């Protein structure tokens, strides 16, 4: 008898738990589901029309929606996000490799990390209002009203993956040119303080001429305001002369003059900033 009461009580708890779950997810926190018309407008915004609209829907489908609607977890956008992240890395890496043929690997990696960062992707997703097209359910609907960066950026990467599957790499590349890379004039590669000594060393060793040799020729002025003069030689040939308020500063100035003399650096490149430009079509 006691066991029967216990089983009945357990069954009641399960039933009430189901009712509470239903009320919470279907009434208190209803589905957020974009209409077909909204999906059409999104395609116009991103200038890409899907051949398979299911891929677009999947890219916008947060796991909270698939969980509440009873769909399989693999129908959420997480797998597309994984794929989109890989495509994003490839396209941005290709862009930087072609745009900056003389940049070293470390510099390219640093800039790539910036371009694919959550902050930048969230900004680009917000520009197309991606948060207004997401499939969400439960508390995520309310918490996403002002846009949750992680949900939005994940959807942006999933959208890249969906475009790749629907239209191929060229389609994904065109999308990223428009949405991410064409607007990258705001991202600059600062060259306010380039390391001229490193540049000269790299050149000299590449030519099989060993390392540049720096000679302090003079130091003038009071201790608190010294002015140093340094000359730089490669294989006993004087290539540059520089002044500075420290030996390091004077050596940098001498190396810069040597690079100009060798034709590696133009005078108008001393403090240049290179803007990122779009790929040529």
Q: Evaluate if residue 69 carries a pLDDT over 80.
A: no
Please report, for the chain, the start and end positions of each structural domain, with discontinuous segments joined by +. Answer: 16-185, 196-266
Q: What is the pLDDT of residue 268?
A: 41
pLDDT the model gives residue 198: 84
pLDDT for 52 equals 96
| Topology agreement, domain 16-185 and domain 196-266 | no
Its pTM stands at 0.57
Angle between helices 105-115 and 78-99 (to 10 degrees): 140
Residue 73 has pLDDT above 80, yes or no: no
Residue 231 near residue 253 (C-beta atoms within 8 A): no
Q: Which residue has the higher pLDDT, 101 or 51?
A: 51
* CATH code reported for the domain at 196-266: 3.30.160.20
Per-residue model confidence (pLDDT) at position 87: 98
Is the confidence at residue 192, as pLDDT, over 50? no
CB 279 within 8 A of CB 260: no
* Number of Cβ within a 10 Å radius of residue 9: 10
The residue with greater pLDDT, 183 or 276, is: 183
Residue 11: pLDDT band (50, 70, 90) is low
Q: What is the DSSP string of the chain?
A: -HHHHHHHHHHHHHHHHHHHHHIIIIIIS--B---HHHHHHHHHHHT---SSHHHHHHHTB-HHHHHHHT--GGGSSHHHHHHHHHHHHHHHHHHHHHH-TT--HHHHHHHHHHHTSHHHHHHHHHHTTGGGG-BB-THHHHHTTT--HHHHHHHHHHHHHHHHHHH-HHHHHHHHIIIIITTGGG-EEE-SS--HHHHHHHHHHHTT----EEEEEEEES-GGG-EEEEEEEETTEEEEEEEESSHHHHHHHHHHHHHHHTTSS-GGGTT-EEEP-PPP-
Average pLDDT over the chain, rounded to whole?
Answer: 79
User: Which of 132 and 41 is assigned the larger pLDDT?
Assistant: 41
245-259 pLDDT tens trace: 889 889 999 999 999
pLDDT at 273: 40
CATH superfamily placement of domain 16-185 = Ribonuclease III domain (1.10.1520.10)
Distances (CA, A) of 215 to 28, 113, 195, 229, 245: 78, 39, 18, 9, 15
Under the banding of pLDDT at 50, 70 and 90, the label for residue 183 is low
Look at residue 48 in the predicted model and tell me its pLDDT.
Answer: 97
N residues, the chain: 281
**Residues known to be catalytic:** 85, 157
Q: 218 forms bridges with which residues in the sheet?
A: 229
């Amino acid at each position: 008898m006691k066991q029967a009461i216990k089983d009945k009580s357990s069954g009641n708890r399960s039933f009430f738990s189901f009712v509470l779950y239903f009320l919470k997810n279907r009434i208190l926190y209803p589905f957020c589901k974009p209409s077909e018309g909204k999906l059409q407008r999104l395609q116009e915004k991103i200038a890409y029309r899907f051949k398979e609209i299911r891929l677009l829907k999947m890219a916008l489908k947060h796991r909270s929606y698939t969980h509440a609607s009873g769909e399989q977890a693999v129908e959420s956008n997480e797998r597309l996000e994984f794929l989109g992240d890989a495509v994003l890395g490839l396209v941005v890496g290709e862009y930087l490799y072609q745009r900056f043929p003389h940049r070293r690997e470390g510099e390219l990696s640093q800039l790539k990390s910036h371009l694919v960062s959550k902050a930048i992707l969230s900004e680009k997703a917000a520009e197309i209002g991606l948060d207004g097209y997401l499939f969400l359910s439960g508390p995520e609907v309310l918490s996403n009203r002002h846009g949750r960066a992680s949900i939005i950026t994940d959807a942006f990467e999933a959208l890249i993956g969906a475009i790749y599957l629907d239209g191929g790499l060229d389609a994904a590349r065109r999308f990223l040119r428009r949405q991410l890379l064409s607007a990258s004039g705001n991202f600059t590669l600062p060259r306010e303080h380039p390391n001229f000594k490193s540049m000269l060393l790299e050149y000299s060793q590449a030519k099989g001429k060993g390392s540049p040799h720096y000679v302090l020729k003079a130091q003038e002025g009071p201790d608190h305001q010294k002015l140093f003069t340094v000359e730089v030689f490669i294989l006993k040939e004087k290539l540059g002369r520089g002044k500075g308020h420290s030996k390091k500063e004077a050596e940098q100035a001498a190396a810069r003059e040597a690079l100009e003399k060798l034709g590696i650096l133009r005078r108008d490149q001393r403090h240049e900033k290179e803007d990122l430009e779009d790929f040529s079509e």
